[in-house]
Amino acid sequence: MKLAVTGKGGTGKTTIAGLLARFFADDGFRVLAVDADPDANLASAIGLPEDQARAIVPISQRRRLIKERTGAQPGRPGQMFKVNPTVSDIADAYAVDHRGIKLLVMGGIQTGGAGCACPENTLLRNLLSEIILNRDEVVIVDMEAGIEHLGRATSRAIDLMIIVVEPGSRSLDTAETIMRLAREIGVSSFGIVGNKIRNEEEKRWLEARFPGDKILGMVSDRDIIRESDLNRIALADRLDDDLRKEFGAIYRACKSARPAR
Ligand SMILES: Nc1ncnc2c1ncn2[C@@H]1O[C@H](COP(=O)(O)OP(=O)(O)OP(=O)(O)O)[C@@H](O)[C@H]1O
Ligand SMILES: [Mg+2]
């Protein structure tokens, strides 16, 4: 099962990705959680202790590994390098284990412009692609809103692209753009999580904007979520009955997504 979590900045992608990872893991699945957001913080969302989270070196900053695999120095343009570096051992070698979840922090993949054709980007893109195509665990990728670095083959192997939306037109516009771009590169299945819902009116507002079968679920706006983030406490360890019900519904909807291939 390959899940990618996207959406406008700040909508709750990392919160949702972290909780899903914990729900799958607590249910007995092997989980590989991939932090593909340059501003990585999935570690705290899955509840990794702060000292361990701080010690993680993202793949994008592992200069020796990048040099060894691509044959070129990272950050230096104009060099020859391998476009198909060996990456299949990287997830197991560099992921950190926490409560049944393997967490792999990728670091930033630059998109567009000159940043695209450098050795570190090539390594990261190949790695993400290899993970989505070949791993047999539940893979949950916390992405940024940009999905341009997903290639076609990779996109087609995503079983469900989860788009986190807040009640608001800007978040909605971003969701629509993501969906259009993702469809163009071959993503076939989408699910919406409505997050930070403050009342019935906001819930209905979102419900009116997506087909019912596309909505995986909604999460209320709750101080406990913000406070968990502020105090670096794993939200999954503090869920009350209401939140457990909301997330449980989202988890079950994700679990029953039809495989892409
Ligand atoms: N349902 C909610 N109720 C209250 N606060 C929430 C809720 N969901 C997320 N938040 C808070 O909103 C903030 C942003 O959440 P999060 O980091 O998960 O978003 P993101 O989409 O990953 O952001 P970024 O684009 O910066 O990566 C955090 O402080 C988080 O605790
Ligand atoms: Mg995030």
Q: What is the pTM of this model?
A: 0.95
Can you list the positions of beta strands (E) in the chain?
Answer: 2-7, 31-35, 96-98, 101-105, 138-142, 160-165, 190-197, 215-220
Ligand 1 mean position, distance from CA 257 (Å): 24
Residue 225 Cβ inside 6 Å of ligand 1? The answer reads: yes
- Surrounding residues of ion ligand 2, Cβ less than 5 A: 13-14, 37
Residue 195 Cβ inside 6 Å of ligand 1? The answer reads: yes
User: Per-residue pLDDT for 112 more than 70?
Assistant: no
Ligand 1 mean position, distance from CA 231 (Å): 13
Mean pLDDT of the residues in the chain: 92
8-29 confidence digits (pLDDT tens): 999 999 999 999 999 999 999 9
Pair of tokens at residue 129? 């692609």
pLDDT (0 to 100) of residue 152: 87
Residue 198 Cβ inside 6 Å of ligand 1? The answer reads: no
Could you give phi then psi for residue 242, rounded to 5 degrees? Answer: -65, -50
pLDDT category of residue 166 using cuts at 50, 70 and 90: very high
pLDDT (0 to 100) of residue 261: 64
pLDDT (0 to 100) of residue 8: 94
Residue 10 Cβ inside 6 Å of ligand 1? The answer reads: yes
171-227 confidence digits (pLDDT tens): 999 999 999 999 999 999 999 999 999 999 999 999 999 999 999 999 999 999 999
Q: Which atom of ligand 1 is nearest to the CA of 220?
A: 1
Residue 226 Cβ inside 6 Å of ligand 1? The answer reads: yes
User: Per-residue pLDDT for 84 more than 60?
Assistant: yes
Ligand 2 mean position, distance from CA 39 (Å): 7
Residue 44 Cβ inside 6 Å of ligand 1? The answer reads: no
User: Per-residue pLDDT for 114 more than 70?
Assistant: no
User: Per-residue pLDDT for 110 more than 90?
Assistant: no
User: Per-residue pLDDT for 76 more than 90?
Assistant: no
User: Per-residue pLDDT for 235 more than 80?
Assistant: yes
Instruction: Give the Cα separation of 65 and 49 in Å (integer).
Output: 26
Instruction: Give the Cα separation of 173 and 244 in Å (integer).
Output: 29
pLDDT (0 to 100) of residue 83: 86
